[in-house]
Amino acid sequence: MLRPRPVPLHAFARSRHNPARRKVPPIGKLALLWAEYAGWRLVRPPAAPAPALRAALPPLLAELASLEDAALDARLAGPRPRAEQILTAAGARPFAEALEVVRRAMGFALRDNQIDCALSLLSGDCVELRTGEGKTLAAGLAALVAARAGVSCHVVTVNDYLARRDRELIAPIAARMRLSSSVLLQELQDDERRAAYDADIVYGANKSFVFDHLRDRREAQSRPGSIPRQTGQAFAICDEADSVMIDDATVPMILSEIVGEVPENDLQLFRTLDGFAAGLEPGAGRVRDANGSWRLTLAGLRALEAAAEHWPHPVARTDEIVALAEKALAARWQFRRGDAYVLREGKVEMIDQSTGRLMPDRRWEFGLQQMVEMAAGAEPSAENRTVAQVTQQSFFRQYRLLSGLTGTARECRPEFWSIYRLPVRRIAPHAPLRLIDQGTRVFPRAAEKWRHVADRAEAMAATRAVLIGVNDVTETEALAAVFAARGRTIAVLDAMSEADEAALIAEAGRQGSITLATHLAGRGTDIALDPEVRAAGGLHVIIASAMVSSRLERQFYGRAGRAGDPGSYERAISLEDRNLQEGAQPLDRRLLRLMLWLPLAGLRPWALGQLQAGRDRRARRLRRITLLREQDLVRQVGYR
């Protein structure tokens, strides 16, 4: 079996004019397919790293625990370790000192599996550690140890909320170790961003790091002598690695600038195409392809050809009109309000499909953006021109050392290896899982399902706390209306209320609380339970819609049964759920939906898993195509 190539830590100098970055070699299509379908199976799972260091820790920790604060601070003021020695026996003392500072700051010692997780991160592995096992502190420990050895460390997560929260946890610990820390937030100005990158440990959302990289590259080309924001890419720890490096990599990150108002003849063509798309019947004029995208049928193409003869725009009688018409189909029938975007203050804002969060700085390509706005009843926005782009796969491979951690890595092992050369190491939880699966209920109609979910939530909330998971804003509105009709007030956490996330999560573990949430509550959310809730059986999670991926589902019900707490979960789905309607080809979908409806309990999870696996395969294919297309652009025209 292949042995993963070890990449040692190295204290690269931080420099804006000579940043430390790895040159990213292109990946051939055949090599990529081989690694994804077969090569990853030949990789030997990573062994527990740094055995000599682990063996030396217990006596050192006992010695440090006996020191007064002043004596410990004197040790921390001593010479810093060398980065190359961190994972050897010589690294045991600085590692133990970091553990002791964490223990005194938090009031408890980190567990063995958290220490193992930190060591694996420093070794360049992707770690799977079950939700609730303390990944935030494990990542923080790795960052503290690396930063003390002079390694510039970026801790990457999925959004500003988690980045701010995690940095606030680590900041006082870092300060005592004479290390600086910062957080990249969307609202920071350029000078503030430069100051943030000068810190030893930088927390931020993946989009913040990627777009700052694109802005620096753009300004280097257009304004020679400008001061970059970033100081290099030495070491990255990607928290929620499957979300950051897999789910969010379906489309390239594009930096654009406003060119000007859209010409009136283009707007008129977009309006005409929107009307044309609105009039096409499914199955007759339009049909879904293997990726779930709407395409014109032969009859639809003939209708377009006949209609376009009378359109004055010069594009109307070229092949380009077909691509524009299919963009109109996507705008009208694929990108739904409440799922793909929301309308806020008269403007369309995209929703991140993997996290449920708003992405106000993201736009679709020209034409599609304007037709989505027309379909939503918003004013078409100005024309933007792409000035720089990069896939997340290429960006993260630029780090000299890359590692990741998540509670749901095993399904992504092929991609972690084929693209990032990251082997996955699973670390056992510290306590047996006390999470009870209460089964799956299937309903023919969505209305019946919503009534059942409301009944179950109210019954469970009599003694416990309840978290209900759905896919999008549309579903939160439908279920919230059922509770409102009963006179029941519940908390709703979705793209429209994410500003209140911290307050809503703080109340979600109280007895009698019912929290309805999209995927916002599925990543990094730690719901603290009241003692009476824990005594009554813990948090109860209801998965109230067929979710796109089994990983998203696992993340969601992983909010219960954390850190050895009791908990339970159940699924309630209907045959009208959108992800069952669109989860497979027509014949396969009918067969799998029939299996869901049959009263055979063991068959239902299998059928649902098959639908989700089909979606995962299509998403993986799109990510592969995106990466290969970017490499072609770079090779042909140097377009990055």
Whether residue 588 is contained in a domain is answered as no
DSSP conformation letters of 187-206: T--HHHHHHHHTSSEEEEEH
Domain boundary among 582, 600, 627: 582
User: CA of 259: how far to CAs of 143, 262, 263, 264, 366, in Å?
Assistant: 41, 9, 11, 15, 11
E-assigned strand segments in 18-146: 126-129
Confidence of residue 353 (pLDDT cuts 50, 70, 90): low
pLDDT at residue 279 is higher than 80? yes
Of the candidate ranges 223-232, 252-261, 416-425, 431-440, the one whose mean pLDDT is the lowest: 252-261
Q: Are 182 and 312 part of one and the same domain?
A: no
Whether residue 543 is contained in a domain is answered as yes
Whether residue 638 is contained in a domain is answered as no
Q: Whole-angstrom Cα distance, residue 341 to residue 555?
A: 23
Whether residue 292 is contained in a domain is answered as yes
User: CA of 260: how far to CAs of 257, 264, 370, 382, 604, in Å?
Assistant: 9, 12, 13, 6, 53
Helix (H) or strand (E) holding 254: strand 253-260
pLDDT at residue 1 is higher than 90? no
- Name which residue leads in pLDDT, 619 or 141: 141
Q: List the domain range (segments joined by +) for residue 198.
A: 29-254+392-427
Q: Residue range 18-25: average pLDDT?
A: 90
Q: What percent of the chain has pLDDT over 90?
A: 51
- Identify the sign of the CA torsion 599, 589, 441, 557: positive
pLDDT digits (tens, 9 = 90+) for 66-80: 999 999 999 999 889
pLDDT of residue 611: 79
Where helices occur in 383-424 by DSSP H, the ranges are 392-397, 413-420
Whether residue 334 is contained in a domain is answered as yes
List the end-to-end C-alpha distance of the chain, in Å, as a whole number.
36
Q: Whole-angstrom Cα distance, residue 528 to residue 58?
A: 31
Q: Are 163 and 291 part of one and the same domain?
A: no
Q: Are 240 and 359 part of one and the same domain?
A: no
Whether residue 487 is contained in a domain is answered as yes
Q: Residue range 115-123: average pLDDT?
A: 96
- Region of 301 (left: φ > 0; alpha: ψ -120 to 50; beta: rest) is alpha
Q: Please check whether residue 570 is in contact with residue 468, taking contact to mean a CB–CB distance below 8 angstroms.
A: no
Phi, psi angles (nearest 5°) of residue 205: -75, 150
Domain count, the chain: 3
User: CA of 198: how far to CAs of 192, 223, 228, 278, in Å?
Assistant: 10, 22, 12, 52
Q: Are 363 and 398 part of one and the same domain?
A: no
Whether residue 603 is contained in a domain is answered as no
pLDDT at residue 60 is higher than 90? yes
Whether residue 136 is contained in a domain is answered as yes
Q: In the chain, count of helices (H) and strands (E)?
A: 24, 20
Highest mean pLDDT, choosing among 138-152, 259-273, 387-401, 470-484: 138-152
pLDDT at residue 467 is higher than 70? yes
Q: What percent of the chain has pLDDT over 70?
A: 93
Q: Are 269 and 222 part of one and the same domain?
A: no
Residues 6+ apart with CB under 8 A from 537: 463, 464, 566, 567, 568
Q: Are 364 and 443 part of one and the same domain?
A: no
Domain boundary among 582, 598, 616: 582
Q: Whole-angstrom Cα distance, residue 210 to residue 390?
A: 8
pLDDT at residue 565 is higher than 60? yes
β-pairing, 153-157 vs 235-239, is parallel
Q: Whole-angstrom Cα distance, residue 450 to residue 510?
A: 23
Q: Are 297 and 409 part of one and the same domain?
A: no
- Name which residue leads in pLDDT, 493 or 68: 68
Q: Are 85 and 204 part of one and the same domain?
A: yes
Mean pLDDT of the chain: 88
DSSP conformation letters of 315-334: GGGSTHHHHHHHHHHIIIII
User: CA of 60: how far to CAs of 72, 81, 108, 149, in Å?
Assistant: 12, 16, 17, 19
User: CA angle 375-379-381, nearest 5°?
Assistant: 105
pLDDT of residue 7: 66
pLDDT at residue 258 is higher than 80? no
Q: Residue range 89-108: average pLDDT?
A: 96
pLDDT at residue 498 is higher than 70? no
pLDDT of residue 450: 96
Q: Are 209 and 268 part of one and the same domain?
A: no
Q: Are 238 and 311 part of one and the same domain?
A: no
CATH of residue 361's domain is 3.90.1440.10
pLDDT digits (tens, 9 = 90+) for 203-224: 999 999 999 999 999 998 888 8
Domain boundary among 427, 454, 488: 427
pLDDT digits (tens, 9 = 90+) for 418-451: 999 999 999 999 888 889 999 889 898 999 999 9
pLDDT of residue 179: 97
pLDDT of residue 589: 64
pLDDT of residue 501: 74
Residues in the chain: 640
Q: Whole-angstrom Cα distance, residue 304 to residue 285?
A: 10
pLDDT of residue 588: 63
Structure tokens at 584: 């497979």
CATH of residue 136's domain is 3.40.50.300
Q: Please check whether residue 517 is in contact with residue 544, taking contact to mean a CB–CB distance below 8 angstroms.
A: no
Of the candidate ranges 224-233, 256-265, 448-457, 536-545, the one whose mean pLDDT is the lowest: 256-265
Q: Are 40 and 129 part of one and the same domain?
A: yes
Q: Are 445 and 570 part of one and the same domain?
A: yes
Q: Whole-angstrom Cα distance, residue 360 to residue 372?
A: 15
State the greatest distance between any 2 C-alpha atoms of the chain, in Å, as a whole number. 87
- Name which residue leads in pLDDT, 251 or 323: 323
Phi, psi angles (nearest 5°) of residue 473: -60, -40
